[in-house]
């Protein structure tokens, strides 16, 4: 079972991701903001993170940077960023912060499925 950490502040979107990902065979764990994302990552050791960049407070970019800084040399959790293209939120910045892939919001579900598989494959 693949464990996925969904970092998303909007509850309906978290619900959507659960409704999409669980049928695909993922074990979904969640964080509702940037602050709780790091502890959740430490606690659950997810195989992949779906990280919304446009989080209030600590942004998704900062979350990615902190995770990359905290990882040991042999660790690398794949991160798929979901960008809202707001100011200071573009794909290049996501890559620079340590994300492995990105997709724009609103997400296309087919694309989401494909991207997750691609990123996981790269990590293995």
Partner 1 sequence: MMQRMGDMDETRRLHERISELEQLNTELRSSEERLKILFEYAPDGCYLSDLKGTLIHGNKAAEEITGYRREELIGKSFLKLKLLSTEQMPRAAALLAKNALGKSTGPDEFTLNRKDGSTVPVEIRTYPVRIGGQRLTLGIARDVSARKQAENVLRERVKELTCLYRINHVMQQQPAIDVLCRQVVQLVVSTMQFPEIAVVVIELDGSRYTSKGYTEGLSHGLHSEIRIGKKGFGRLSAYYTKDKPFLIPEEQNLLNTIGEDLGLWIEQQRAEEALKKSEEKYRDLFENASDLIQSVKPDGSFAYVNRAWRETVGYSEGEIPNLSLRDVIHPDSLAHCEEVIQRVLKGEIVLGVTATFVTKDGRPIEVEGNINCRFEKGIPVASRGIFRDITKRKKMEEELRQTIKMKSEFYSHVSHELRNPLNFILGYAQLLSMEENLNDVQKRFVENILAGGERLVPLIEDFFELSKLDSGHITLKRESQPLKPLLSLVDQDHQLAAQAKGIQLTFHDEGTVDDEAILDAVKFRQAMDNLVGNAIKYTPEGGKVSVTLTKGANQFAIRIADTGVGIAPEDHDRIFHEFVQVENDERTGKELVPGTGLGLPIAKRIINLHGGKISLQSELGKGTTFTVTIPAGGEDDKNTGRRE
Q: State which of residues 44, 105, 118, 120 lies at the interface with partner 1 (CB under 8 A).
A: 105
The reply to whether 24 sits near partner 1 by the rule CB under 8 A is: no
The reply to whether 12 sits near partner 1 by the rule CB under 8 A is: yes
The reply to whether 106 sits near partner 1 by the rule CB under 8 A is: yes
Q: State which of residues 2, 3, 16, 62 lies at the interface with partner 1 (CB under 8 A).
A: 16
Reduced to 3 states (helix: H, G, I; strand: E, B; else coil), residue 53 is coil
Q: State which of residues 22, 35, 71, 85 lies at the interface with partner 1 (CB under 8 A).
A: 85
Q: Among candidates 100, 13, 22, 17, which has minimal Cα distance to 54? A: 13
We find the least distance from the C-beta atom of residue 75 to partner 1, in angstroms, to be 30
Strands of 2-7's sheet in order across: 26-31, 2-7, 48-52, 79-83, 101-104
**13 or 66, CB closer to partner 1?**
13
Cis peptide before 39 (omega within 30 of 0): no
- Of the listed pieces 29-37, 42-50, 69-77, 104-112, which binds partner 1 according to CB under 8 A? 104-112
């Amino acid at each position: 079972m693949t464990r996925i950490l969904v970092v998303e502040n909007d509850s309906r979107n978290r619900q959507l991701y659960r409704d999409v990902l669980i049928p695909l065979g993922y074990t979904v764990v969640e964080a509702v903001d940037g602050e709780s994302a790091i502890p959740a990552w430490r606690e659950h050791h997810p195989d992949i993170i779906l990280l919304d960049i446009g989080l209030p407070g600590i942004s998704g970019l900062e979350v990615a940077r902190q995770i990359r800084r905290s990882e040991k040399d042999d660790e690398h959790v794949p991160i798929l960023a979901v960008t809202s293209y707001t100011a200071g939120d573009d794909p290049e910045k996501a890559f620079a912060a340590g994300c492995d892939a990105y997709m724009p919001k609103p997400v296309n579900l087919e694309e989401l499925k494909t991207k997750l598989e691609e990123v996981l494959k790269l990590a293995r």
